[in-house]
Amino acid sequence: MRLMMENVEWMEKEMINSSKEDIHHLTPAEIKLFNTLRGNKKSISDLSRVMGISRQAVHKTTHRLKEYGYIELTISPDNKRDRLVSITNEGQKVRKRGAKIIREIERNLSKNIGQDNLELIRDLLEENLNALREE
């Protein structure tokens, strides 16, 4: 567990350091929200549940990203009290820069542990997630 957490922290630091030239420095929570959305619309309730944080924390994060123009909030057609979060065109540019940074981090990781091992880790983690989703 400790090894996984340390590696996640390392990757988050790399992402933050690599995005320092951006106008707005995204926090780990903002990066996690972008990753959770994956280009889809999701309600604040869904984001809260998937991210494992309070609705209040998601609300705060979404409003900051909205101020930057990276996301927009719309009223859910299914529940007028709920808001749907979606990524704007400007937010898509941020996602693309983030994907580029992730590819660079993966290249560095591959240099350290080898491409075969990187693919093995990716496959094993995916297998674990699939098993957890089936439970």
Task: With beta carbons less than 8 A apart as the criterion, state whether 31 and 63 touch.
Answer: no
Q: What pTM, to 2 d.p., does this model score?
A: 0.73
Strands (E), the chain: 42-43, 71-75, 83-87
d(CA 36, CA 46): 10
For each of the domains in the chain, give its residue range(s) and CATH number, in order of start: 2-134 (1.10.10.10)
Q: Report pLDDT digits (tens) over 27-79.
A: 888 888 988 998 889 999 999 999 999 999 999 999 999 999 999 999 988 88
d(CA 33, CA 28): 9
